[in-house]
């Protein structure tokens, strides 16, 4: 069963096609990664689902019900990329306000608000004015606001983009913990995060769905024969020379450098391993490891959309 189903969705801004016949199926209970370069239509889609924008044509079905334009849906929680709040309010006042919008009673707002502030790490600043918050703190408050009504569907637009590494880790863990409570649709340009928490992925490009797949199936489908050769630290300066030499080796298609690791695209793993080891022995190179590697989501993305569609 799908929590969300979009069919032939179109959205125009003047002559610009933000969405150009988008089809999408989001499985119930999934953490769904919504990927694409700037201008692919990710935010537009989320705004339409949240009832904040109107599609020009197409159909939207949420939890089995057709959705009309600009219709508030009490089953949905929405976190925009840059959430905005009344600066004179405190976090608990902010959550009480949004709880009231969703029809929660005052006592329930207070209980739920304190619970969520603890969850997102803002309990200690519950009585500070939001106007003095950093962007990362506003992002955490935005996540709490999106959860105030206990939504069955949670829409997250770049939920960790404003957070430091520790904050990112904590929020991603929180998102993972919510997977059994609601369906999560997460737009992100940080492919490493999508690879970590999402079980289903879709790639948008120029307003269309380029690909949708289970994460593991996607990795297997686009897995190319790869080897990682990690050289000893003392040979870092020689890596470029070693890379050029390996490019001439039988069975190696390409060589890319990442720090002191060379990633080798090869035709056949066993043949390449043998040939690389011969080169290592012939030149006296010192290495730490030679492993079979899997492509990252970023490598798959670049392969699919090309350099011009790179997420930056």
Cα 81 to its chain centre, rounded Å, is 12
Provide the Cα torsion 87, 90, 94, 96; round to 10°.
Answer: -150
265, 294 Cβ separation under 8 angstroms: no
Q: Which of 149, 11, 19, 25 is nearest to 77 (CA)?
A: 149
Establish whether domains 2-214 and 226-293 are of one fold.
no
Beta-carbon-side half-sphere exposure of residue 248 (alpha carbons within 13 Å): 6
In this predicted structure, what is the pLDDT of residue 71? 63
pTM: 0.77
Q: Compute the distance between CA of residue 228 and CA of residue 241 in angstroms, rounded to an integer.
A: 17
Mean pLDDT of 300-308: 64
Three-state helix/strand/coil letters over 259-294: CCEEEEEECCHHHHHHHHHHHHHHHCCCEEEEEEEC
pLDDT band at 312 (very low <50, low <70, confident <90, very high): very low
* 17: number of Cβ within 10 Å: 16
DSSP 32: E
- Percentage of residues in the chain with pLDDT exceeding 90? 35
Question: Using 50, 70 and 90 to split pLDDT, how confident is the model at 106?
Answer: confident
Residue 96 near residue 106 (C-beta atoms within 8 A): yes
Give the pLDDT confidence of 32-85 residue by residue, as tens digits. Answer: 998 888 888 999 999 999 988 999 999 999 988 888 766 667 789 999 988 989
Condensed to tens digits (0 to 9), the pLDDT of residues 120-132 reads 989 999 989 999 9
182-192: per-residue pLDDT in tens? 999 999 877 78
Residue 311 pLDDT grade (very low, low, confident, very high; cuts 50, 70, 90): very low
Classify each residue of 277-307 as buried b or exposed e, where b means 16 or more C-beta atoms within 10 Å of its C-beta.
Answer: eebbeeeebebeebeebebebbbbbbeebee
Residues written for the chain: 312
Q: Do residues 158 and 78 touch, judged by C-beta distance below 8 A?
A: no
Residue 199 DSSP class: S
Q: What residues does each domain of the chain span?
A: 2-214, 226-293
The confidence band for 181, taking pLDDT boundaries of 50, 70 and 90, is confident
- CATH level 3 topology of 226-293: Alpha-Beta Plaits (3.30.70)
Mean pLDDT of 87-101: 93
Q: What is the CATH number of domain 2-214?
A: 3.40.50.300
How many other CB atoms sit within 10 Å of the CB of residue 173? 11
Q: Output the six-digit token pair for 67.
A: 């959705």
The more confidently predicted of residues 307 and 11 is: 11
């Amino acid at each position: 069963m799908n929590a969300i189903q979009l069919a032939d969705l179109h959205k125009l801004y003047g002559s610009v096609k933000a969405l150009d016949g988008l089809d999408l199926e989001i499985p119930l209970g999934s953490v769904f990664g919504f990927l694409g370069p700037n201008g692919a239509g990710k935010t537009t889609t989320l705004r339409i689902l949240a009832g904040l924008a109107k599609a020009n044509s197409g159909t939207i079905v949420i939890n089995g019900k057709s959705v009309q334009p600009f219709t508030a849906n009490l089953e949905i929680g929405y976190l925009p990329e840059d959430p905005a709040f009344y600066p004179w309010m405190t976090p608990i006042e902010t959550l009480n306000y949004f709880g009231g919008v969703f029809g929660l009673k005052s006592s329930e707002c207070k209980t739920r608000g304190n619970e969520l502030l603890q969850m997102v790490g803002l309990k200690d600043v519950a009585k500070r004015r939001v106007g003095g918050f950093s962007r990362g703190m506003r992002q955490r408050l935005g996540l709490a606001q999106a959860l105030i009504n206990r939504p069955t569907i949670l829409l997250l637009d770049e939920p960790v983009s404003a957070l430091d590494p520790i904050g990112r880790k904590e929020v991603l863990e929180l998102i993972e913990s919510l997977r059994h409570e609601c369906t999560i649709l997460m737009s992100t340009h940080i492919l490493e995060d999508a690879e970590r928490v999402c079980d289903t992925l879709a790639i948008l490009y120029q307003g269309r769905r380029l690909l949708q797949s289970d994460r593991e199936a996607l990795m297997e489908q686009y897995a190319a024969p790869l080897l990682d050769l990690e050289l000893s630290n003392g040979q870092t300066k020689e890596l470029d020379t070693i890379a050029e030499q390996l490019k001439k080796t039988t069975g190696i298609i390409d060589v890319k450098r990442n720090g002191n690791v060379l990633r080798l695209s090869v035709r056949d793993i066993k043949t390449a391993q043998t040939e690389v080891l011969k080169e290592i022995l012939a030149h006296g190179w010192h290495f730490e490891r030679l492993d079979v590697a899997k492509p990252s989501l970023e490598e798959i993305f670049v392969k699919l959309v090309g350099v011009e569609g790179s997420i930056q």
